């Protein structure tokens, strides 16, 4: 049944017991990848751990004739993230791709956010992506190949309400991927970023979806299966993407997007430098260029189709 697009590749996907990671794991295994299905099985609001989600994905993959192993170590600390990579090496003897997908939410308005809520999200998303990628990179360098995928979010790219911790961590993915691209391309190592949109436990739990018109959002979300970003993950770790690095993609239902990187829009030079007064005088030159802050349809003006 495998069509071979990922034949022989060993791919670690963090947080692949549920949602987008789960879809990616199943898609990759069906194309010949050996998958490390990593998931601590976190609760929605706590870290009450559960091995079932990862094990179920592995059972499904094996039943379909694929190859996978469950791993329950957390990405959130250096040591446990290294165990995830060790699991790939011990089980399959190599590692070809790392998808930094594990995630949690702790939503709160900025003025109410606690240090613990800030830290928890940073720990899983930003530290977790660093820990897991850092654990894999010595092997990638040795073999002079490897692919990283980082998961960002429009919550970071456009901004979001009630998600200052998450949005900050998600923009961190872009900084990290930019640097890995510049540092590691010479070793044949690629890094790309994906902003997904999918109906998962995470999105079903957000304040926006719980309180922003439940029926309309249920329909909107139902049209966004996790298989769509899952397919993009699989493409990005495959050799079909061997010339693609340092990019930011979006995958939402039937829509695929390529985002730009921030680059200067206009350039002003003043001999002798600038003072606040000379800036006040000159900066009308930027009028009309300022980014209008918006979310949702204010940025991506078309809606995915809804399913009745």
Ligand X SMILES: NC(=O)c1ccc[n+]([C@@H]2O[C@H](COP(=O)([O-])OP(=O)(O)OC[C@H]3O[C@@H](n4cnc5c(N)ncnc54)[C@H](O)[C@@H]3O)[C@@H](O)[C@H]2O)c1
Nearer to ligand X among residue 6 and residue 20 (C-beta): 20
197 binds ligand X (CB under 6 A): yes
Q: How many angstroms separate the first and last alpha carbons of the chain?
A: 32
Could you tell me which stretch among 59-67, 70-78, 268-276, 283-291 binds ligand X (CB under 6 A)?
70-78
State the catalytic residues: 166
- In DSSP terms, which residues pair with 197 in a beta bridge? 252
Q: Which residue is nearest to ligand X (CB)?
A: 19
CB 46 within 8 A of CB 20: no
Q: In this structure, what DSSP letter does residue 162 have?
A: S
Scanning 13-21, 211-219, 261-269, 284-292 for contacts with ligand X by CB under 6 A, the matching segment is 13-21
Site for ligand X in 31-50 (CB under 6 A): 38-42
Residue 20 binds to ligand X (criterion: CB under 6 A): yes
Cα separation, 127 vs 98, whole angstroms: 15
Alpha-carbon distance of 66 to 4, in angstroms, equals 11
Instruction: Check binding of 14 to ligand X (CB under 6 A).
Output: yes
> How deeply is 174 buried, as exposed, middle or buried, from its count of CB atoms within 10 A (0-12, 13-18, 19+)?
buried
Is the CB of 117 or the CB of 188 nearer to ligand X?
A: 117
Subset of residues 100 to 119 that bind ligand X, contact rule: CB under 6 A: 101-104
Number of residues binding to ligand X, judged by CB under 6 A: 31
Q: Which stretch binds ligand X (CB under 6 A): 74-82, 266-274, 275-283, 285-293?
A: 74-82
* Residue 280: how many other CB atoms lie within 10 Å: 9
């Amino acid at each position: 049944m495998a069509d071979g697009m990922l034949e022989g590749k060993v791919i670690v996907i963090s947080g692949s017991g549920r949602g987008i990671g789960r879809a990616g794991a199943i898609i990759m295994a069906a194309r010949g990848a050996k998958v490390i299905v990593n998931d601590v099985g976190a609760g929605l609001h706590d870290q009450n751990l559960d091995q079932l989600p990862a094990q179920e994905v592995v059972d499904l993959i094996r039943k379909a004739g694929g190859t996978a192993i469950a791993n329950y170590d957390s990405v959130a600390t250096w040591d446990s993230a290294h165990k995830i990579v060790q699991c790939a090496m011990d089980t399959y003897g190599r590692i070809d791709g790392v998808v930094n997908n594990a995630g949690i939410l702790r939503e709160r308005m900025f003025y109410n956010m606690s240090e613990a809520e800030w830290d928890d999200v940073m720990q899983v998303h930003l530290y977790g992506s660093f820990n897991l990628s850092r654990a894999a990179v010595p092997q990638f360098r040795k073999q002079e190949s490897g692919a990283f995928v980082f998961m960002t979010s429009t919550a970071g790219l456009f901004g979001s309400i009630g998600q200052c911790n998450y949005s900050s961590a998600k923009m961190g993915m872009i900084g990290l991927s930019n640097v890995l691209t510049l540092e590691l391309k010479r070793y044949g190592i690629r890094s790309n970023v994906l902003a997904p949109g999918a109906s998962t436990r995470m999105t079903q739990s957000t304040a926006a979806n719980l309180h922003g018109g439940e029926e309309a959002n249920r329909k909107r979300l139902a049209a966004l299966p996790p298989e769509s970003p899952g397919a993009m993950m699989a493409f990005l770790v495959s050799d079909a993407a061997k010339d693609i690095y340092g990019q930011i993609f979006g995958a939402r239902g039937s829509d695929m997007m390529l985002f730009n990187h921030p680059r200067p829009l206009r350039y002003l030079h003043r001999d002798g430098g600038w003072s606040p007064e000379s800036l006040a005088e000159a900066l009308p030159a930027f009028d009309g260029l300022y980014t209008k802050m918006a979310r949702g349809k204010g940025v991506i003006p078309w809606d995915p189709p809804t399913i009745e």
